[in-house]
Amino acid sequence: MIQKRGEKMENDMPLYDRLTEHIKLGRSSFHTPGHKGNFFTPELMELDLTELPDTDALFEAEGVILRCEKAAARLFGAERSLISAGGCTLAIQAMLRLASLRGGRLLLARNSHRSAVNAAALLGIEPVWIMPEGGKSYTGRITPEAVEQAFDEHPDITACYITSPSYYGELCDVKGIAGVCHSHGALLLVDNAHGSHLAFMKENVHPLALGADMTACSLHKTLPVLTGGALLNISSGTLAECAKSAMSLFGSTSPSYMIMASIDKCISYMFSEGAAAYRKCEDDVGELKKLAAGLGIPQPEGHCDPLRLTLNTASRGISGERAQLDFFEKMNIDCEFCDGENAVMIFTPFNTERDILRVREAISELGKLREISEINGRNEVPPELPEKVLSLREAVLSIPEMISVADAAGRIAADTVCPCPPGVPLIMPGELIDEKIREALADNNIHKLMVCR
Ligand SMILES: Cc1ncc(COP(=O)(O)O)c(C=O)c1O
């Protein structure tokens, strides 16, 4: 048989081989998963089992899985914690389902991850949008004042959904926002995908400890858990009653036992030596942040995730993407994410001393580049929201069509379009693409998008 270029042959394993080769490179991982390949032993592979009389069942948990969930609840100070083997996405879907059961409207941060927008569409939730503030180079923060104003304008809001921390590490004033929500009898839901470890910092700044009613946490991003392992944490027994059925609405009937077992192992580690290891990591990253600040490399301002390092490479005249290619890659560093202005790195105690040394060296090298006085903010979002023509649900479930941005004026978006995820989308499903939005899409190098037919 003649193999076409790039085509998989029957005896060929392109993905498997690439992953194996990547591991052999010995690069320093500053991306997810949080275990960085340094926590689990190969025996975990043998635990790929299924629902058996003695292994419990995720959506009808009453045995070992329930015990594991109860331990997670104790660890995070929740009334109830539910395991997800379908990532934080599944926890977000369940969280929104639970919020929707109360009726009323949802206040949804405009910088929400697409998993929340898609879940809202599937559940028929038509959100009131709230804009983050101060996100010129980053995603920005929702403030208690803005939430208060939203309640004044929409007294039928019964739940508010925010993301904290942001991808860049910005933390919202969760305590303040929770206070506002509770004074209006509303729930606060937090997408804490990037912040599971916040419960183990010197100061516990996990959103649940600060008053959130529910948090969706991607354990796998910052704790030693296999990719796909997440938790839904709930602060009240009433909400918890329907939580399993809310999760089973979206979840696979074959959740991975390896992922669930990895969560169990992580919980046990965090109860023992894990917390101290994370606090030590906080010191290490704090030193790197100080080094960068001393060299005049800007980082997000205000209250931030202690373990997230966001370096504004644009201050040295190079985009984050270019810095990854020209700098970090050559120093064997893999970042979590690079955009037009920043390089973002996730640290956990599973980074080695060699990893930390490499970053120290990279920061010093970056500091030697000439400083640029004026940095252009990326991801400029037009201040007014686009006109809404269809509901989220109608747009997401419409028959979509991929078109060129050049032809997009006058069409209705069928998908979320974000210039540089994570960020504030320029357009959401159901909104009209006018000439101004079309230009903004083109300016952000977006060439194609999905519209409703
Ligand atoms: C802010 C945010 N929320 C939710 C998710 C979804 O998490 P998961 O990939 O665990 O499903 C992500 C993923 O990157 C994210 O960045």
Query: pLDDT tens, 91-143?
Result: 999 999 999 999 999 999 999 999 999 999 999 999 999 999 987 778 899 99
| Residue that has been written with the tokens 């076409």 in this structure | 4
Strands 187-191 and 157-163: parallel
Decide if pLDDT at 424 tops 50. yes
Two tokens, residue 51: 């629902």
- Cβ atoms of residues 215 and 85 within 8 Å: no
Tell which residue, 30, 25, 22, 26, has the closest CA to residue 311.
30
pLDDT band at 1 (very low <50, low <70, confident <90, very high): very low
User: Which of 424, 425, 427 minimizes the C-alpha distance to 395?
Assistant: 427
List for the chain the helix, strand, coil content (%; round to 5). 40, 15, 45
Do 42-269 and 273-368 fold alike per CATH? no
Q: Are strands 448-452 and 400-404 parallel, antiparallel or unpaired?
A: antiparallel
Rg (the chain; Cα; Å): 22
Topology annotation, domain 42-269? Aspartate Aminotransferase; domain 2 (3.40.640)
User: Is residue 400's pLDDT more than 70?
Assistant: yes
Q: Establish whether residue 163 lines the binding site of ligand 1, counting it when its CB lies within 6 angstroms of any ligand atom.
A: yes
Nearest one of 426, 423, 432 to 446, comparing CA atoms: 426
Confidence (pLDDT) at 378: 53
Just give the CATH number of 392-452: 3.90.100.10
Q: Please report the pLDDT score of residue 32 as a whole number.
A: 98
Closest atom of ligand 1 to CA, residue 228: 10
Residue in this structure with the two tokens 């599971």, named with its chain if needed: 196
Q: Residues 262-284: what's their mean pLDDT?
A: 98
Q: Give all strands of the β-sheet with 337-338 in edge-to-edge order.
A: 308-312, 342-346, 337-338
Domain 273-368, CATH 3.90.1150.150 — does that match? yes
Q: What is the pLDDT of residue 422?
A: 79
Lowest mean pLDDT among 97-101, 361-365, 366-370: 366-370
Tell me how far apart the alpha carbons of residues 230 and 239 are, in angstroms, rounded to a whole number: 18
Which stretch of 199-203, 277-281, 291-295, 379-383 has the lowest confidence by average pLDDT?
Answer: 379-383
For the chain, the average pLDDT equals 94
Q: Confirm or reject: Cβ of 137 under 6 Å from ligand 1.
A: no
The alpha helices in 162-205, defined as continuous H runs, are 174-183
Q: What is the pLDDT of residue 134?
A: 83
Q: Residue 113 Cα, ligand 1 centroid: separation in angstroms?
A: 7
Q: Identify whether the C-beta of residue 415 lies closer than 8 Å to the C-beta of residue 449.
A: yes
Evaluate: CB of 215 within 6 angstroms of ligand 1. Answer: no
User: Is 90 exceeded by the pLDDT of residue 158?
Assistant: yes
Q: Where are the domains of the chain?
A: 42-269, 273-368, 392-452
β partners of residue 343: 311, 338
The pLDDT of 179-183, averaged and rounded, is 98
- For Cα atoms 212, 214, 215, give the angle at the middle one, nearest 5 degrees: 90
pLDDT > 90: percent of the chain: 88
Residue 135: predicted pLDDT: 73
Element at 402 (helix H, strand E): strand 400-404
- State in Å: Cα 352 to ligand 1 middle: 25
